[in-house]
Structures are given as C-alpha cells and as structure tokens.
C-alpha cells in the first residue's frame, strides 16, 4: 500500500521497457491501416516524426493516394489479437526523394491489451507525472493524450541506434530510437530541435547509425547526456571507435551493424527535425540481440501468455 501511495503521489510515465531483440524478433506486433476495403499492413512504413505535438509519418510512393483520416490498428503478430489503436487525421505531407510521408496526427487512442482497472491506474500515474513535468523550468512537455497515444505506438518495438556525426571541429555520438529503415535504401531520423547536433547533421549531411547491442544498455543510456552537447571527447567513450568504411565517420567497434547515410532532405516538424537519408553503405547486422524499447503494457500482456520479452 505504501508503494502504491508513493507512486500516486509522484506519478510515473507510461513506461517503455528496454528489451533484447535480435533482428528476426523485432516485429512481434504489426501495424495495419483500416479502411472500408479491409486492413493494409504498414508495419515497416510507420515512423515517429514529432512528439509535441505527436505526429507519425506513413510512408508511401508519390503515385499512391494519401491516407487521409485513418485508424491505425496494432495487432500481436503471433495471435492477431488487437492490442491498441490510434485514430488519426491528416497533418500535412513530407516529400523526399524516395517518396512521401503522410503526416498523421493521433486524436484518440485505445489500449486493449490490459484490463480496464490496470489501464486506468497506469493512465492516472502518467497524468500525474505529466502535470509535475509541466511545472519544471525548460522541461520537454507532451500533452497527456499524446503520451497515451505514444505508448500505443511503442507496442511496435523501437530499436536503439548510436548516431555519429562530425562537422569541421565538432562531433557527437548519441543514442536514438526515433529512427528506422525506409525500405532497403533509406533511413529516417527525428531529432529534437533543441539538440545542438541538429545543425551538425544538417551542415555535414553525413551520418553513421550503429545498432546498439543489448549488453550496451547502460553505456548507451549514459551517452544520452550527449544530446545537450555540440561536441564530445571521443577518447572518453566506453568503447573503441573506427572510421566507417565509406564516409570515415567514427563509429563504435562491436556494434551489431552500421549504416552510413547522406541527408537527402530535412525539415522542422513540430518539436523535431525530420531527416530523410539515403544509405551509402551498410554492414550486415549481427544476429545478436539489439537494445529495443517497447510498451510495458504490451510486454506484460505477452508475459501473461507465456511469451515474455527478454529484458535488456
């Protein structure tokens, strides 16, 4: 009881659990767009674009029709059971050399994978946490409705990468999970506008992203402090570095695979800068587990059915 009272007094965010997933395991849940004609899978085509306000990007070819207002369904990949859903409305377009993103603004969300009592309790804690965060000076604040919708989106695990960038006398390396491959030839990154590395990435036009082994979790989290820096001491990193083969960008030795990227287009959208890039070179990812983030509610649902994630 004391623990519960402390939780309610302090509040807690809707958790994203760190888990270890090898590449074949990284799509345990699937995303679908519902329409009058049925459901169309969009698992590999749905990306985070902004957190404040929350915006998602749905990739399509320029000759395909726009999604418009749509319902995004998240289903368990093994059973097909509905885990959650997002009601979205159009919020613009982002065009890049590889196609177009329909920007979708979630206006309602639903969680179906936990009992109502637990869902209400978790949402109450998240609301309390959001209220406390909003009172802190210079805090990054998301609307409570957006926090709820984001937690539904994170039922699709987000693999974590270390991003390396160098321009002139400055350089940085930091973790990100608002990223993802855009087919076989592109990669998308959404970085907060307040990060000094936004300008480094725009000016250099070249980036390396390295998949984070699950065993590097603590080291990767410590590097989160680099988001506030323009440049870092490369010799102080907790792992050795080597120049990437094509672009010569410092990248961690021992990562599970790396992509070297050139920026094709970037645009400020909401709270983040969205980078659409083309892949210049890539190494084959190792089959070892990668650090990923997934909705804690979905993780609990799977564990109750005898299919727990492996915690990182």
Domains of the chain: 2-156 (2.30.110), 158-292 (2.30.110.10)
For residue range 140-169, list pLDDT tens digits in order.
Answer: 678 889 989 999 999 999 999 999 999 999
Residue 5: the pLDDT is: 35
**Alpha-carbon distances of 146 from 88, 117, 218, 253, rounded to whole Å:** 12, 21, 27, 37
Residue 11: the pLDDT is: 42
Instruction: Determine how many CB atoms are found less than 10 A away from the CB of residue 218.
Output: 11
Structure tokens, 124:
């109450």
Residue 207: the pLDDT is: 98
Residue 77: the pLDDT is: 96
Q: Partners of 208 in the beta sheet? A: 164, 260
Residue 6: the pLDDT is: 42
Average pLDDT by stretches of 10, the chain with 312 residues:
39 77 95 87 94 95 80 97 97 90 96 76 65 61 88 96 96 96 91 96 97 97 93 94 96 95 97 97 89 95 96 96
* First vs last C-alpha separation in the chain: 29
Closest CA to 255 of 280, 220, 294, 207: 220
Residue 3: the pLDDT is: 43
């Amino acid at each position: 009881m004391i623990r519960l009272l402390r939780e309610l007094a302090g509040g807690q965010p809707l958790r994203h659990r760190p888990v270890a997933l090898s590449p074949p395991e990284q799509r345990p849940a699937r995303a679908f767009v519902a329409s009058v004609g049925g459901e169309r899978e969009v698992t590999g085509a749905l990306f985070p674009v902004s957190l404040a306000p929350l915006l998602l990007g749905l990739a399509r070819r320029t000759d395909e029709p726009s999604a418009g207002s749509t319902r995004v369904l998240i289903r368990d990949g093994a059973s097909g059971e509905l885990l959650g859903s997002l009601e979205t409305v159009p919020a613009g377009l982002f065009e890049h050399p590889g196609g177009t993103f329909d920007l979708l603004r979630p206006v309602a969300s639903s969680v179906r994978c936990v009992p109502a009592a637990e869902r209400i309790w978790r949402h109450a804690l998240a609301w309390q946490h959001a209220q406390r965060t909003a009172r802190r000076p210079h805090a990054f604040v998301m609307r409570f409705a957006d926090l709820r919708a984001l937690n539904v989106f994170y039922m699709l695990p987000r693999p974590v990468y270390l991003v390396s960038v160098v321009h002139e006398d400055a350089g940085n390396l930091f973790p990100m999970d608002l990223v993802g491959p855009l087919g076989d030839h592109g990669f998308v990154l959404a970085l907060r506008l307040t990060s000094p590395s936004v300008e480094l990435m725009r000016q250099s036009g070249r980036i390396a992203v390295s998949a984070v082994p699950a065993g590097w979790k603590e080291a990767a989290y410590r590097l989160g402090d680099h988001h506030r820096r323009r440049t870092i001491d490369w010799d102080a990193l907790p792992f050795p570095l080597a120049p990437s083969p094509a672009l010569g960008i410092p990248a961690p030795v021992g990562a599970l695979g790396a992509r070297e990227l050139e920026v094709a287009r970037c645009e400020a959208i909401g709270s983040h800068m969205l980078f659409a890039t083309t892949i210049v070179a890539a190494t084959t990812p190792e089959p070892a587990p990668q650090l990923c983030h997934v909705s804690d509610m979905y993780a609990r649902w799977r564990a109750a059915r005898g299919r727990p994630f492996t915690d990182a």
